[in-house]
C-alpha cells in the first residue's frame, strides 16, 4: 500500500510540476514519470513501465519532435508563399500527426508517459519562426527542417538498431524511412534556386 501511495504522490507531484513550470520541462517531466514507473515495480498493473527506460526516453523525445514538426508545419502554411514549401508543410502536418498517433498508441500499451506540450527549445523555435519577417522565413524554415530531420533521423536509426522493445524498434525503423524521405525533399528545396 505504501508503494501505491508513493507512486501516486510522486506522479501527481511530477505532473503538477509539469503544468506549473509550463513548456520548459514537459519532456523532462514525462521522463521523470517514466523513471518513477521503472523504479516502482509491481505497484499496480497499470503503474509500471513496460519498457526499458532508454526506450521510454526515445518515445518522449520523438513525441516532442513530432509535435514540433506539426506546429512548425502549420506556421509554414501561413507564413510562406513558396508552393513547394507549402506542400512540404502540409506533408509535415499529415505525416507527423499520423506518426504521433501511432507513437501514442504504443506508449499507451507500454505505459509510457508522453509530454503533452512542446519543450522549451521547440517552443522557442516555434516563437522565432512566428516572429520572422516574410523575406527570411523560407530560408530559416528550410534550415530548421534540414537540421531537425538530420537529428531525428539519427535518433530513429539508433532506436531501430539498439532499442530493446520490438514495437518501438519497428516504429523507429518505419519512421526513419519517412524522416529520410522528408530530409531528401527539404534538401532538394534548399538546393534549388529561388
Which domains occur in the chain, in start order? 50-191 (1.20.1260.10)
What pLDDT is recorded for position 42? 46
**What would the pLDDT profile of 119-163 be if each residue is shown by its tens digit?**
999 999 999 999 987 779 999 999 999 999 999 999 999 999 999
Cell of 15: 505532473
CB distance 65 to 73 below 8 Å: no
Cell numbers representing residue 43 in the block = 505497484
Q: What are phi and psi of 40, to 5 degrees?
A: -120, 70
User: Would you give the DSSP letter of residue 150?
Assistant: H
Residues present in the chain in total: 194
pLDDT in tens, 35-71: 655 555 544 444 666 778 899 999 999 999 999 999 9
Cα–Cα distance, 135 to 7 (Å, whole number): 51
CA atoms within 13 A on the CB side of 170: 6
In tens, the pLDDT along 176-189 reads: 999 999 999 999 99
The CA distances from residue 48 to 39, 53, 182, in Å, are 8, 11, 35
Q: Measured between alpha carbons, how far is 66 from 118 in angstroms, rounded to an integer? A: 9
Amino acid at each position: 500500500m505504501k508503494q501505491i501511495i508513493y507512486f501516486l504522490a510522486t506522479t501527481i507531484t511530477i505532473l503538477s510540476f509539469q503544468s506549473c513550470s509550463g513548456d520548459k520541462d514537459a519532456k523532462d517531466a514525462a521522463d521523470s514519470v517514466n523513471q518513477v514507473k521503472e523504479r516502482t515495480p509491481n505497484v499496480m498493473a497499470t503503474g509500471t513501465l513496460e519498457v526499458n527506460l532508454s526506450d521510454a526516453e526515445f518515445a518522449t523525445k520523438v513525441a516532442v519532435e513530432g509535435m514540433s514538426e506539426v506546429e512548425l508545419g502549420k506556421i509554414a502554411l501561413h507564413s510562406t508563399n513558396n508552393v513547394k514549401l507549402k506542400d512540404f508543410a502540409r506533408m509535415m502536418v499529415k505525416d507527423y500527426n499520423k506518426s504521433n498517433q501511432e507513437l501514442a498508441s504504443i506508449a499507451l500499451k507500454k505505459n509510457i508517459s508522453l509530454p503533452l506540450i512542446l519543450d522549451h527549445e521547440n517552443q522557442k523555435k516555434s516563437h522565432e519562426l512566428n516572429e520572422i519577417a516574410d523575406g527570411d522565413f523560407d530560408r530559416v524554415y528550410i534550415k530548421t527542417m534540414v537540421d531537425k530531420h538530420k537529428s531525428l533521423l539519427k535518433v530513429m536509426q539508433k532506436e531501430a538498431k539498439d532499442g530493446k522493445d520490438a514495437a518501438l524498434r519497428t516504429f523507429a525503423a518505419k519512421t526513419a524511412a519517412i524522416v529520410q524521405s522528408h530530409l531528401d525533399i527539404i534538401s532538394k528545396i534548399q538546393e534549388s534556386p529561388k
